Structure 1
Amino acid sequence: MAQQQAATALAEPTHRYVEVEGLKLHYLDWGGDPGKRTFVLLHGGAAHAHWWDGVAPLLTPYGRVLALDFRGHGRSQWAKSGVYGPPAYLNDVRGLIESLGTRVILVGHSMGGAVAQWVAVTHPELLAALIIVDAPHGPPPLFRRLMWRWRRKSQGGIRPELRSAEDIIRKFRLQPPQTYLTRLEVERLALLGAEQLPSGAWAFRFDPETRAWRKHGARMTKPKIRKITMPTLLLRGDQSALVSASHVALMHRKIRGSVLKEIPRAFHHVPLDNPGDTAAATIEFVEKM
């Protein structure tokens, strides 16, 4: 896998867009043969499609690979109505897949994994397989929810503007913060999720209102994952503080026929910490389908 990773390190994706519910959504197209299969990769909350930069090129020999920016994230359009949250993100994914005209292997990390569970339950006809990466069934642990609630209060509203790219780098934090990324890799990730404004100031490509989706009346209960019948792979970072080993084992028991695998040397941000083993586990799974 290391040799394959080195061989694909220079690969660059194509920027593409699809309109869903009047919003222009951005996704990265890494290429690959859709005649084999199509992967759709979903990022977590407050993240963006580049979370998959280390994994996506490793999957292209096995099919076409796309990575979506949810509305209000990355290069996707913001929802002026403030309609965010899992129900809206489910519609983003459904709209993209329907535009492709083929069933996909849906791969979701963190919040993207929660959305992927809902897609599998409500629109199983769209999926050939499901891969859930360090995402719980239901809400995260209480202490994490309380931390995010505080962050929503302190950072909601108008998008902050910073003076320079260096300020973007200083401001950027992974949540949870634990990672095996180097300092330079973290800086690159920060800048990929930021932009320079016409005024010369800098800002993150992220609508702070995504954190306040509940105030617009959006609600979503836990999906009934016992209903999931397509081939399913559960991946957990072996050092994740967000998804416990016992929790993912319970998910494994509820989803009949699912496969469970821990990714070594990975905290919660599995695709960032260990893209090689994440891709290898994905490839092994789909090749056995």
Structure 2
Amino acid sequence: MIEPQRIVFPAAGDSVNLVADAYGAAGRPGILLAHGGGQTRHAWGKTAAALSERGWRAVALDLRGHGESGWSADGDYQMELFAADLASVARQMGNRPALIGASLGGLAGLLAEAEVAPGSFSSITLVDIVPDMNLEGAAKIMAFMSAHAGQGFESLEAASDVISAYLPHRPRPSDLSGLAKNLRLGEDSRYRWHWDPNFVASANRQRSSRDRGAFEAGLADLRLPIHLIRGRQSELVSREAAESFVARLPHAQFTDVAGASHMVAGDRNDAFLDAVVSFFEHLNLRTATDAQ
């Protein structure tokens, strides 16, 4: 397994620092990977390493309030903050990186291009997310995130039991070291998710109050290439919503991954990676090997 370089980026507009793992040498064409809500940069480990092996520089970021990145001092996690953070990291990477964004990371990337900082990315790959998501599916995900946020788990095995019950289609891992990266051990010897509990409350407020009109209008003006990758068993994005979203954009395409739910990269990383690489090759996103 490739050992990444740990990088710290200052966030946009406040004192929060954002931690990332960079795979591949500086100077290669850049790809920025932004995880979903409640995840960490480690969700992209296999994908980022594989992209690096193919000649790109892949930077997997912990979003604010997640993983090792700082928490918002006031507990505010507006989508605009995530969008501004992604745009800021893209500027620091230079040369308009391609963005791969899962769920929260994808929505934040769309908002960055549509409203906050147009021109931040060369392309956007959305992983099982569209603005017109299934609200019942979103509520189910938020309920899972909230269920053990306070009391946590007595052990990694207990956390694994809960995840297996939530994702029964996915084989339970025998090695829990990967799970340990998504949990933090408290002074009370209990494990808790590696994100700020205020994130869920903030996200729930936004879902009921955010003005969708301006966002939708901004999306209509997008001209950069967009690739929507959906899990065929997704509880968040219906096939109809996916096709409707792609049809509204002039440079968008859609891949439906069989055997995957909302966590596409975790369920079918092989098929997911094939779709990502095919899209980048179609765009002629040059790799270090190509340049030689």
TM-score, L = length of structure 1: 0.84
Q: For the residues of structure 2 that align with 1:120 and 1:178, how far apart are their CA atoms?
A: 36
Aligned equivalent of 2:30: 38
Matches within 5 A, 1:137-286: 137-138=131-132, 140-147=133-140, 159-172=150-163, 177=167, 179-180=169-170, 182-184=171-173, 187-198=176-187, 200-213=189-202, 220-222=210-212, 223-224=215-216, 225-286=219-280
CA positional deviation for 1:168:
3.6
Work out the CA distance in 1 between the residues paired with 2:36 and 2:272.
Answer: 16
Partner residue in 2 for 1:66:
59
Structure 2 unmatched runs, 5+: 284-292
Deviations 1:171-220 (A, max 9, x none): 44686x3543x211784443111123455443321111101116888954
Q: Aligned partners of 2:164, 2:82: CA distance in 1, in Å?
A: 23
CA RMSD of aligned residues (A): 2.6
SS of equivalent residue, structure 2 residue 27 = coil
CA deviations 1:98-142 (Å, max 9, x no partner) are 22222010111112111121122132321111111110224x323
Task: Provide, for residues 140-187 of structure 1, a one-character-per-residue CA deviation record: whole Å limited to 9, x for no partner.
Answer: 32323444565677666xx43544333443444686x3543x211784
Q: How does 1:20-31 map to 2 (within 5 A)?
A: 20=11, 21-31=14-24
2:201, 2:262 → 1: CA distance?
Answer: 23
Aligned mates of 2:206, 2:226 — CA distance in 1: 31
Secondary structure of 1:230's match? coil
Q: Please say if residues 134 and 238 of structure 2, whose CA atoms lie closer than 8 Å, have aligned partners that are also in contact.
A: no
From 3, 11, 15, give the equivalent of 2:6: 15
CA deviation profile, 1:225-275 (whole Å, cap 9, x unmatched)? 221101111111122221111111001111112111112321111111111
Equivalent residue, structure 1, for 2:286: none
Describe the shift of the 1:243–1:188 C-alpha distance in structure 2 as closer, same or farther (beyond 3 A). farther
Counterpart for residue 5 of structure 1? none
- Aligned to 2:46, what secondary structure does the other structure show? coil
Q: Which region of structure 1 is more displaced relative to structure 2, 244-253 or 77-86?
A: 77-86
The letter for the 2-side match of 1:11 is I
In 2 relative to 1, CA 128–185 (structure 1 residues): closer, same or farther, beyond 3 Å? Answer: farther
1:107 aligns with 100
2:120 pairs with one of 102, 126, 129: 126
Q: Which runs of 5+ in 1 are unaligned?
A: 1-9
What is the alpha-carbon distance in structure 2 between the residues aligned to residue 149 and residue 51 of structure 1?
18
Q: Secondary structure at the match of 1:260?
A: strand
Q: Distance in 2 between matches of 1:276 and 1:149?
A: 27
% identity of equivalent residues: 21
Say whether 1:136 aligns with 2:130.
yes
Matched residue SS, 1:45: coil
Distance 1:58 1:179, change over 3 A: farther
How far apart, CA to CA, are the structure 1 residues paired with 2:203 and 2:46? 33
- Matching residue of 2:287: none
Counterparts in 2 of 1:276 and 1:174: CA distance versus 1, 3 Å: farther
TM-score, with length taken from structure 2: 0.83
Aligned pairs, how many? 274
